A and B are shown apart, each in its own frame.
Chain A
Amino acid sequence: MLAGPAFVVMLLVTAYPIVQAIWDSLWSFRLTTPDERAFVGLRNYGVILTDPVWWGAVRTTVLITVVTVAVELVLGFALALVMHRAIRTLRPLLRTAILIPYAIITVVSAFAWQYAFALDSGFINTWFPMFEGMDWFGQFGSSIVVICLSEIWKTTPFMSLLLLAGLAQVPEDLQEAAKVDGATWWQRLTKVTIPNMKAAIMVALLFRTLDAFRIFDNVFIMTGGASGTETVSFLAYRQTISRVEIGLGSAVSVLLFLCVIAIAVLFIKGFKVDMAQARGDR
């Protein structure tokens, strides 16, 4: 079977590790003290779920997810409209421009935005005198703003390409008919365009929500989790890699995995995202 190898590899690199993580999460195990490895059942989960550090990370992650996805939906839709309707000669230029943030390394984006806002090297505080002397990474709110800016800049293009695919599926004659009937631009957008690309919008939201919920790179580079900006992925990383608490770290990973599944189920069952319909052919 031709698809066999790809299928097996995909299972090997995801299913196997998550089973291993579930198993590891049942042990109290720190790499630095291997002799004290002990089976503790679900106790790691108890420790995490009663710890304010976990709930802080969840709150931060949810906040970043909601803010970035909401902004990206609006901004991505605007970008998609511009690309869809732009004069033919401008299209290659716009496509090229929009692909640059998509293709750039997230870590590079994180550094660019961090340095722009940094006290010692940034131009933002110089350009906007009201921020003179402001330490953007000194407290929670402003740190989140800059983290979200980098995340939004880097990932909106992907959102807008998914929406562009949806826009292309809206029948042109419907638009014309509405135009003939005297519908304004705004009426056509809200009554014709958006209802006809609902499936594409939901798929774009689903993908970006799940992606945003896993945010790691921007937080790592910009704040290293300081000022309460630690996200769930970062917490899992810190427990496992920095503190070598394999048991606890695995439990955080498993909980993150469950969160992602819950979001996916919520979207697919709750909002009735029909992947087949969005794909347009099945």
Chain B
Amino acid sequence: MSASIRERIWWYLAAAAVLVYALFPVAWIVSLSFKEGADIGNRQFLPTQWGWGNYQAAFDSGLFIPALRNSLGISIIATAVAVLLSTFAAYGIARLDFPGKKIILSTALAVAIFPVISIVTPLFNVWRSIGLFDTWLGLIIPYMALTLPISIWVLSAFFRQIPWEMEQAAQVDGATTWQAFRKVIVPLAWPGVATTAIIAFFIAWNDFIFGISLTSTERARPVPAALASFTGASQFEQPTGAISAAAVIVTIPVIVLVLLFQRQIVAGLTNGAVKG
């Protein structure tokens, strides 16, 4: 049995290494966000004194709260639209046999590898002339290029595993079409839809290129772009602390989603890659 104990120890060590890898940079930015005043420059991993000052500064900056509102609003709307459209598309791909099936999956793939900056250049010009520059809609539309392809792939992989015959079985048993859909299909489909929504939200939440190129004020600027435009309280002060605090705040929702749905997210990403 000694081999098995040794093996166990190896796995625990490997697991510990993975944890350090994943969490160390996060721990650093959290630690940095609690350093106040001259502590920022102490060049140590930990603060000598922990304080909330940077969070206060981030919220007081006048940049962060509008950016947070923009990021949440734009990402949630973009996610909802992408999930709605891709649910229709994936349902069609999984259930109906039509010739365009392959074309749609290939198009999604092509869009997924599309260089984002190549969209930004023309949109920057067009958005300016039609008044979509620096608006929510002006970001939600290009976010479709980021969120739709992966949503279609992940969701059609999920839908392909659903035993659709159960719908007919329910109808044979006397359920109406609507009852069959609501009682049988929705419970089967919704975990896939929810997972897709989370992945799409991560992508929209992460966007930086569109955010920095297609906005110019607090009206629509999302958090990643706002972080890049933080400035210190005076011209001689670096905004390091406030940026760290703001960075930690926008990481919290992401970590909560990961903690709650890790199993589904991994299944969604791996299924989408394997069976999409």
A residues sitting closer than 8 Å to B (CB atoms) are 1-3, 5-7, 9-11, 13-14, 17-18, 20-21, 24, 31, 79, 82-83, 85-87, 90, 92-109, 111-113, 115-116, 118, 120-123, 125-127, 153, 157-158, 161-162, 164-166, 168-169, 200, 203-204, 207, 210, 213-214, 216-217, 220-221, 233, 236-237, 240-241, 246, 249-250, 252-254, 256-257, 260, 264, 275, 278-281
B residues sitting closer than 8 Å to A (CB atoms) are 8, 11-12, 14-15, 17-19, 21-23, 25-26, 28-29, 32, 40-41, 43-45, 85-86, 88-89, 91-93, 96, 98, 100-101, 103-104, 107-111, 113-126, 128, 141-142, 144-145, 148-149, 152, 202, 205-206, 208-209, 212-213, 223-224, 227-228, 238, 240, 243-244, 247, 250-251, 254-255, 257-259, 262-263, 265-266, 269-271, 273-276
A161 close to B273 (CB less than 8 A): yes
For B223, what are the chain A residues with a Cβ–Cβ distance below 8 Å? Answer: 105
CB contact under 8 A between A10 and B108, given known A121-B240, A220-B228? yes
Task: State A64–B258 Cα separation when bound (angstroms).
Answer: 29
CB contact under 8 A between A24 and B208, given known A1-B100, A6-B104, A6-B152? no
For A240, what are the chain B residues with a Cβ–Cβ distance below 8 Å? Answer: 120-121, 124, 213
For B228, what are the chain A residues with a Cβ–Cβ distance below 8 Å? Answer: 107, 220-221
Query: Given A13-B111, A94-B15, 19 more contacts at CB 8 Å?
Result: A1-B100, A2-B92, A7-B89, A14-B111, A20-B122, A97-B19, A98-B22, A103-B257, A104-B26, A106-B224, A108-B224, A115-B244, A121-B40, A125-B43, A165-B270, A236-B121, A240-B124, A256-B117, A279-B273
CB contact under 8 A between A107 and B208, given known A2-B88, A112-B29, A200-B274? yes
**What secondary structure prevails in chain B residues at the interface with A?**
helix
A256 close to B118 (CB less than 8 A): yes
**Nearest CB of B to A229, in Å:** 16
A115 close to B32 (CB less than 8 A): yes
For A3, what are the chain B residues with a Cβ–Cβ distance below 8 Å? Answer: 88-89, 92-93, 100-101, 104
Sample (13) of A-B pairs whose CB atoms are under 8 Å apart: A2-B91, A3-B93, A6-B89, A7-B104, A96-B262, A97-B18, A103-B254, A111-B243, A112-B32, A122-B43, A162-B273, A233-B115, A237-B209
A220 close to B208 (CB less than 8 A): yes
B15 close to A86 (CB less than 8 A): yes
B270 close to A9 (CB less than 8 A): no
A112 close to B28 (CB less than 8 A): yes
A111 close to B29 (CB less than 8 A): yes
For B22, B45, B123, B142, the residue with the greatest tally of chain A CB atoms inside 10 Å of its CB is B22
A121 close to B144 (CB less than 8 A): no
A93 close to B19 (CB less than 8 A): yes
Choose from B44, B45, B88, B257 the contact partner of A5 (Cβ within 8 Å).
Answer: B88
